[in-house]
A and B are shown apart, each in its own frame.
Chain A
Amino acid sequence: MFELHDITKSYAGTTVLELEALSVTPGKTLAVIGPSGCGKTTLVRLMIGLIQPDRGTVSFDGTVLTPDNVLALRHRIGYVIQEGGLFPHLTARGNVALMARYLGWDRADIDARVAELAELVRLPLEMLERYPAKLSGGQRQRVALMRALMLDPDLLLLDEPLGALDPMIRFELQNELKAVFEALGKTVVLVTHDMAEAAFFADSILLLRDGRVVQQGTADELAERPADPFVVRFMQAQRVGVAGAPGAGS
């Protein structure tokens, strides 16, 4: 679905990302993980075209991303960031429906789609009339997910979507999110700093360090055949003994 080739990106002379090749398999979930400053957010921002690589190409579904086609491609990608990035001047419904309204959907179609998504993310309908400031952190992330899914995108890009939530809510949302992914069968790229979360969600994990790929594989592969002492240290630091997402309890 996503193909990245020979990418470099630097800021003020410091290389923050250097990738030879990366491909995201359709229908699968890829988790991007690594310590702070490893380049994972840069990678996501490159994918959605918020920044351009200094060298190399990003292509989505066979089309190379350019400033001209990026707007159209973004309609096929749902994007959720840590604090949700909800528009404070619009109600939850206004946030979710903004893009569909801009594209001129019928009101009835919009309402039906919003109701469908609210059910999917288990958000009570009356919450939709609230402004973001009147919603809890978990509710805000549900709304952000609805907004990302509104146009039924081919791919979901989630940048630490649960990072700001407290553990109980997080646990609950992890389960629900996984159910949503499975129900929709979408391609997902999920950025996290939590190995247990990565293992719980992902078919494949991409471990980054200082802007480079250390290892890519399943959680089991990372645990059993670490490519590098750093992988071992990273897994230990996260207290991940065995693969299969112990923290999340599948």
Chain B
Amino acid sequence: MSCRVFYIGILAAVLLVGLAGPVQAAPSVTVGSKKFTESVILGEITTQLLTANGVPAGHREQLGGTRVLWSALRKGDIDIYPEYTGTLRNEIFAGRKLPTLAALRTALAGRGVKMTAPLGFNNTYALGMKRGLAARLGIRTISDLKAHPELVFGFSNEFMDRADGWPGLKRFYGLPQTDVRGLDHDLAYRGLEAGTIQVTDLYSTDAEIAYYHLRTLKDDQGYFPDYQAVLLYRSDLPAKAVAVLKRLAGTIDEAGMRAMNAQAKIQRVSEQKVAAGFLRKHFQLSAPRRRAGFWQRLWQRTVEHLTLVAVSLSAAIGLAIPLGVWAWLRPRTGQVILSVAGIIQTIPALALLVFMIPLLGIGGPPAIVALFLYSLLPIIRNTYAGLHDIPPPVLESAQALGLPLRARLRLVQLPLAARGILAGIKTSAVINIGTATLGALIGAGGYGQPILTGIRLDDVGLILQGAVPAALLALAVQGMFELAERLVVPKGVRA
């Protein structure tokens, strides 16, 4: 009777996975991109150009940050991704002196990675001010600012704090301005508009430059480091694909990138269309990329999300119930089990996901393992508590009848703890469904995908396309377990 808890969990999992169906076959070459618009556009351009030239390519868009992409590339989960020379120097090869592109290439070769020639634009820090004001004051370069000590500067907090940000810049150029404020980046644009500040920091390809009619001041003395965009690819990438990548070198200048960023971020054109437009213009290619419809996308995300939840949760149920029983039978070991499960729960989800990448790559498996680990504690704890709360006379009666340990568990103790165990599973399921949205950061798909895109594009509609189904799924699963409770929890002990 008590085994029902377990079997129903397994059954539900099998059902859900069965529903999910087979995962799409992987294309021969996989392009990755980081979770910001420019990277997604570059990834899309690369993917479409490869496909149009007879190299079937897939795009795993907006996988987390540098660490995720770099690990995935080295592991072979992706073959190509857009990167910046400055990031290579300051993050991936931090601490090594690699002043030239040739030095970078050598360092990369040591890791089995190659790099294309720069794509043509440099996305580095820049200072910007309103075009009209700059023209009036005759300011074109950062050096020109020295003649205008009355200007008010408003910098993002990060730029204010970094040694190579404002403090370094001030010293390097000998800038005299004293009214310098730290503020949020979005507020800085509004401040420029309202005239409360006159100069701010920006990235040289920011979409907002055109939108707010800003002029970027030339870094005439070469203070800011180079952030040349390049494509990194694995050295085992087929020659045919490499030849296609080479064609992209030098094709995108700052103005071009800025315009594409603006199209995507401000005019809300999809990255696919932006990329297609670029390819039409520069390569006379018309690569019609069929984009899946809303319902088809929703279905695919639902399948991905359910797979993550069902597999991780049923594995967690399978392990956590025995662990909870063990913790109850052996109180000393129990303390260790509960402590370890508790510690796992305190690891931030993102950190756990990133830990998994070197072991399991990107995509579903690392996300499933992380979700599995997160689902353990509530089930273990509730199993333990459910058993712990059984009145001693009942335990003693079962023992005095002459039932062996296993039979006592199966016939008496687990059925009596069933309500508690089920409550633990319910808690785990809801946490699991919510946490699974983070899986999108490492390419596991699911409802997190539109949420991530929505956050990136500041598009509430897109965020809701992920958040609403996730909430509905949580409700549905909760309802399902409420039904399961009727089957599993014996009538005599129901509330």
Measured CB to CB, the closest approach of chain B to A44, in angstroms, equals 10
Question: Contact: A85 with B402, CB < 8 Å?
Answer: no
Chain B nearest CB from A191 CB (Å) reads 14
Cβ A50 vs Cβ B415 within 8 A: no
Residues of chain B within 8 A (CB-CB) of A82 are: 393
**Residues in B416-438 with C-beta less than 8 Å from chain A:** 416
Select which of A88, A99, A131 is within 8 A of B401 by beta carbon: A99
Contact at B396–A88, with CB atoms within 8 Å? no
Please state if A89 and B400 are interface contacts (CB–CB under 8 Å). Answer: no
Q: Is the CB of A102 within 8 A of B403?
A: yes
Say whether A50 contacts B399, CB under 8 Å.
yes
Chain B's nearest CB lies how many Å from the CB of A194? Answer: 20
Q: How far is the CB of B187 from chain A (nearest CB, A)?
A: 61
**CB proximity of B161 to chain A, nearest CB, Å:** 61
Which residue of the partner chain, among A75, A79, A83, A132, contacts B492 with CB atoms under 8 Å? A132
Instruction: Of the listed stretches B195-203, B299-307, B404-412, B441-449, name the one at the interface; the rest are far from the partner chain.
Output: B404-412
Within 8 Å of chain B (Cβ to Cβ): is A242? no
Residues of A near B28 (CB, < 8 A) are none
A83–B416 contact, CB under 8 A?
no
User: What is the distance, in angstroms, from A159's C-beta to the closest C-beta of chain B?
Assistant: 10
A192 an interface residue at 8 Å Cβ cutoff?
no
| Contacts of A122-162 to chain B: CB distance below 8 A | 131-133, 147
Q: Which residue of A lies closest to B395 (CB)?
A: A85
Given contacts A87-B416, A89-B415, A99-B403, contact A79 B491 (CB under 8 A): no
For A50, list chain B residues within 8 Å (CB): 396, 399-400
Check if B52 is an interface residue, CB within 8 A of chain A.
no
Q: How far is the CA of A87 from the CA of B416 in the complex (A)?
A: 9
CB A160 to nearest CB in B, in angstroms, measures: 12
> Which residue of chain A has the shortest Cβ distance to B407 in the bound complex?
A102
A85-B393, A87-B416, A88-B394 known; A79 vs B400 contact (CB < 8 Å): yes
Q: Count chain B CB atoms within 10 A of each CB in A75, A82, A83, A87 and give the residue with the most.
A: A87
Assess whether A89 is in contact with B401, with CB atoms less than 8 Å apart.
no
Q: How far is the CA of A81 from the CA of B401 in the complex (A)?
A: 12
User: What's the dominant secondary structure at chain B's contact region?
Assistant: helix
Chain B nearest CB, measured from A77 CB (Å)? 8
Q: B490 to A83, Cβ gap below 8 A?
A: no
Our count of residue pairs bridging A and B at CB distance below 8 angstroms stands at 66
Q: B348: shortest Cβ distance to chain A, in Å?
A: 40
Which residue of the partner chain B has the closest CB to A99?
B401
Q: Does A74 contact B (CB under 8 A)?
A: yes
Query: Is the CB–CB distance between A89 and B402 below 8 Å?
Result: no
- Residues of B within 8 Å of A83, CB to CB, are 393
Q: Which of A70, A79, A85 has a CB less than 8 Å from the CB of B394?
A: A85
**Is there a chain A Cβ closer than 8 Å to B23's Cβ?**
no
Would you call B151 an interface residue if the criterion is a C-beta within 8 Å of the partner chain's C-beta atoms? no
- The answer to whether A64 has its CB under 8 Å from any CB of chain B is no
How distant is the Cα of A172 from the Cα of B7 in the complex, in angstroms? 47
A24 close to chain B: CB less than 8 A: no
A72 on the B face (CB < 8 A): yes
Q: Is B194 located at the chain interface by the 8 A CB criterion?
A: no
B298 in contact (CB, < 8 A): no
Say whether A98 faces chain B, with CB atoms less than 8 Å apart.
yes
- Chain A residues within 8 Å of B400, by CB: 48, 50, 74, 77, 79, 81, 85
Contact between B402 and A88 (Cβ–Cβ < 8 Å)?
Answer: no
Q: Is B402 touching A74 in the complex (CB atoms < 8 A)? A: yes
Residue B351 at the chain A interface, CB threshold 8 Å: no
Give the distance in Å from the alpha carbon of A165 to the alpha carbon of B367 in the complex. 59
Report how far A91 CA is from B396 CA in the complex, Å: 18
Pick the contact of B416 from A79, A88, A91 — CB < 8 Å?
A: A88
Q: How far is the CA of A48 from the CA of B399 in the complex (A)?
A: 9
Contact in complex: B403, A89 (CB < 8 Å): no
- The distance in angstroms between the C-alpha atoms of A79 and B393, with both chains bound, is 12
Given contacts A50-B400, A74-B402, A102-B403, contact A87 B412 (CB under 8 A): yes
A89 to B398, CA, bound (A): 13
A86 at the interface (CB under 8 A from B): yes
B100 interface residue per 8 A CB criterion: no
- Is B221's beta carbon under 8 Å from chain A? no
A88 and B400 alpha carbons, distance in the complex (Å): 16
Q: When chains A and B are docked, how far (Å) is the Cα of A85 from the Cα of B395? A: 8
In the assembled complex, the Cα of A162 lies from the Cα of B167 at a distance in Å of 87
Q: Which residues in A have their C-beta under 8 angstroms from that of B394?
A: 85-88
Q: Which residues of A contact B407 (CB under 8 A)?
A: 102
Whether, in the assembled complex, A115 has its beta carbon less than 8 Å from a beta carbon of chain B, the answer is: no
With contact pairs A71-B404, A88-B416, A102-B407 given, residues A81 and B397 touching in the complex (Cβ less than 8 Å)? yes
**Which A residues touch B416, using CB under 8 A?**
87-89
Question: Is there an interface contact between A99 and B402, defined as CB atoms closer than 8 Å?
Answer: yes
Give complex CA distance A72, B402 in Å. 7
Residue B493, interface by CB 8 Å: yes
A94 to B358, CA, bound (A): 54
Q: Tell me which residues across on chain B come within 8 A of A91, comparing CB atoms.
A: 492
Establish whether residues A74 and B401, one from each chain, have CB atoms under 8 Å apart when the complex forms.
Answer: yes
Interface string of B378-399 (1 = CB under 8 A from A): 0000000000000001101111
Give the distance in Å from the alpha carbon of A131 to the alpha carbon of B494 in the complex: 11
A172 to B412 alpha-carbon distance, docked (Å):
31
- Cβ-based interface call for A90 (8 A): yes
- Given contacts A98-B411, A99-B402, list 4 more A-B pairs with CB under 8 A: A50-B400, A79-B400, A81-B396, A88-B492
* Residues of A bordering B, CB below 8 Å: 48, 50, 70-75, 77, 79, 81-91, 98-99, 102, 131-133, 147
27 A-B pairs (CB sep. < 8 Å): A50-B396, A50-B399, A71-B402, A72-B402, A74-B401, A81-B396, A83-B393, A84-B393, A85-B393, A85-B396, A85-B397, A87-B394, A87-B397, A87-B412, A88-B394, A88-B493, A89-B415, A89-B490, A89-B491, A89-B493, A90-B490, A91-B492, A98-B401, A98-B403, A98-B411, A99-B401, A102-B403
Rank and list the top 3 A-B pairs by shortest CB-CB distance, nearest first. A74-B402, A85-B397, A89-B490
